[in-house]
Structure formats: structure tokens, C-alpha cells
């Protein structure tokens, strides 16, 4: 339709068409980021949950929550649908949504995914650019600095950055997005557990080792270390869940 359709074979306009088409696409992307108020509401609730201000099991009554967020109940429900799809919230039919309470099987499953994906990203990922490897190293440094400052929330955060950076070595936006969701679930686990230190202290050195192996190109060895790492971390979390959660 009109001059902006690149399918139209109008001779020397084709270059212009391509450019204009690109401009349109860019504007569309631009608007996509500011997004709708349902998305904004979802972002706020998501933040509150992963930061631990809304704890597992908390009910989220639609009317009060909508009022608090300054949106209508209908708009809020769109937001909640999103978060349910992300597994951050759970919908109990006719009872509303609650902040999800992961059980021991969720822990096992999340680690099953991670044990499959993270070592594979290290060993066989097709996106091992210097920049991405540098991001892994940066996350390790961030963790070292945080532990030196005795900042355990900071260590937890750095640890997430580390694992996201590892998955990013696969070079796949879809995998990155998936890992983002998994790590959000992980934060729910830790909020159930309380003190984060015992769950991060043992693995700081491992992060350093894996990063070093990665830098020196020993990808398979790095992957094997990551496998052991994840098995140990899973065992620790499962045990903690079994004994207290």
C-alpha cells in the first residue's frame, strides 16, 4: 500500500522504500518499549515479587491492587495473566492469584533445565564472542567485590548476572528470555530460605574457576565444572527445602 510497500516493484524507489520501511519498524519498536499500562503494572508487581516485598503465598486481591497501581481492574487482569504465564504468580480458579510457592519438585525441575542448558552453553554455545566472555568475567568481578564488602544481596545479584552471562554465550535471545524467567523463580526459592550466604558462599570460587577456564578456551572442562556446581547447588537447596520449607 502507498509508497512504503517494498513489494511494489517501482524501479529506483526500492532503496528509499527499504529505508522508510526500516524507519517505520524502528518507530514501532520504540513504542513497544514504553508499552501499555498493563505492561507497566506487570513490571511493578514482578519487581515487588522478585525483590521479596511480596512473599510466596501472598494473595493479590484485584480491587485493592488495581487501586494501588492506579489502573482499572480489567487492565490489572491483563497484567496478572502475563505474570501467571511467567510462573511468578499462580491462579487458583475463583480464588484469585497468589505469589507462587515453589515446592521441592520445582527446585528439581529448575535445576534440571539449568543442568542441561548452562553446561551446553559453555561447551557448545555458538555465541562465544570476546564481548560475551568479558561479560562473564565482569560478573565474576562483581561477585568478588560484593563479597569483599560483605554485601550478600549483592553477591546473589552478581551470581545471577554470572549465570545469565553464561547462558548468553549461546547467543540466543529466546534462551536469554527463558533464563531470565528461571532466575526470577530462583529468587523465590531463596526468599523462602532466608539467609542467602550459605547458598552463595560455596560457589564463589567455582565462578572464578569457570570464568578462567572459559577465558583460556577450555570449554568442555568449564562445562563439566558447571555440571558439578549445579548438582551440588541443587542438592543443597533440595536438602534445605526438605528440612524446613
Partner DNA sequence: ACCGTAGAGATTGTTCAACAATTCTTCAAT
Partner DNA sequence: ATTGAAGAATTGTTGAACAATCTCTACGGT
Q: Which residues bind DNA (CB under 7 A)?
A: 1, 3, 31, 36-38, 59-63, 70-75, 77, 91, 93-97
The span from the first CA to the last CA of the chain, in angstroms, equals: 60
Helix (H) or strand (E) holding 154: helix 152-168
Task: List the single partner that 224 binds among a second copy, DNA, none, CB under 5 to 8 Å by kind.
Answer: none
CB of 217 to DNA, least distance (A): 47
Establish if 164 lies at the interface with a second copy (CB under 8 A): no
Q: Out of DNA, a second copy, none, which partner does residue 1 contact, by CB within 5 to 8 A per kind?
A: DNA
Please say whether the beta carbons of 83 and 41 come within 8 A.
Answer: no
Please state the φ and ψ torsions of residue 4, each to the nearest 5 degrees.
-95, 10
Contact call for residue 74 and a second copy (CB under 8 A):
yes
Cβ neighbours for 71, distance < 8 A, ≥ 6 positions apart: 37, 38, 41, 79
Query: 162: Cβ–Cβ under 8 A, 6 or more apart, which residues?
Result: 136, 139, 140, 143, 207, 211
Neighbour order of strands in the sheet with 96-99: 59-60, 96-99, 89-92
What is the sign, positive or negative, of the torsion defined by CA atoms of 156, 157, 158, 161?
A: positive
Choice between 11 and 93, CB closer to a second copy: 93
The verdict on 126 binding a second copy (CB under 8 A) reads yes
- Site for a second copy contains 115 (CB under 8 A): yes
Residue closer to a second copy, measured from CB, 176 or 218:
176
Q: How far is the CB of 236 from a second copy (least distance, A)?
A: 18
Q: Which residues bind a second copy (CB under 8 A)?
A: 28, 31-32, 34-36, 38, 74, 77-78, 81-82, 85-86, 91-94, 109-110, 112-113, 115-117, 119-121, 124-127, 170-175, 178, 182, 227
Amino acid at each position: 500500500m502507498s509508497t512504503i510497500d517494498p513489494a511494489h516493484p517501482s524501479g529506483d524507489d526500492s532503496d528509499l522504500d527499504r529505508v522508510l520501511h526500516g524507519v517505520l519498524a524502528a518507530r514501532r519498536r520504540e513504542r513497544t518499549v514504553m508499552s501499555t499500562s498493563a505492561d507497566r503494572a506487570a513490571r511493578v508487581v514482578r519487581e515487588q515479587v522478585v525483590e521479596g516485598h511480596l512473599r510466596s503465598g501472598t494473595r493479590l486481591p484485584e480491587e485493592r491492587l488495581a487501586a494501588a497501581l492506579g489502573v482499572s481492574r480489567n487492565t490489572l487482569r491483563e497484567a496478572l495473566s502475563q505474570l501467571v504465564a511467567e510462573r511468578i504468580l499462580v491462579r487458583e480458579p475463583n480464588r484469585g492469584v497468589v505469589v507462587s510457592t515453589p515446592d521441592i519438585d520445582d527446585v528439581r525441575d529448575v535445576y534440571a533445565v539449568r543442568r542441561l542448558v548452562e553446561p551446553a552453553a559453555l561447551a557448545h554455545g555458538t555465541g562465544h564472542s570476546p564481548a560475551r566472555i568479558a561479560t562473564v568475567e565482569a560478573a565474576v568481578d562483581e561477585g568478588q567485590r560484593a563479597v569483599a564488602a560483605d554485601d550478600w544481596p549483592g553477591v546473589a545479584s552478581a551470581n545471577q548476572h554470572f549465570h545469565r552471562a553464561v547462558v548468553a554465550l549461546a547467543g540466543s535471545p529466546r534462551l536469554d528470555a527463558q533464563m531470565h524467567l528461571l532466575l526470577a523463580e530462583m529468587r523465590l526459592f531463596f526468599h523462602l530460605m532466608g539467609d542467602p550466604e550459605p547458598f552463595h558462599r560455596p560457589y564463589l570460587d567455582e565462578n572464578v574457576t569457570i570464568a578462567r577456564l572459559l577465558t583460556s578456551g577450555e570449554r568442555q572442562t568449564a562445562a563439566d565444572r558447571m555440571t558439578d556446581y549445579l548438582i551440588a547447588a541443587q542438592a543443597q537447596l533440595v536438602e534445605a527445602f526438605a528440612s524446613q520449607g
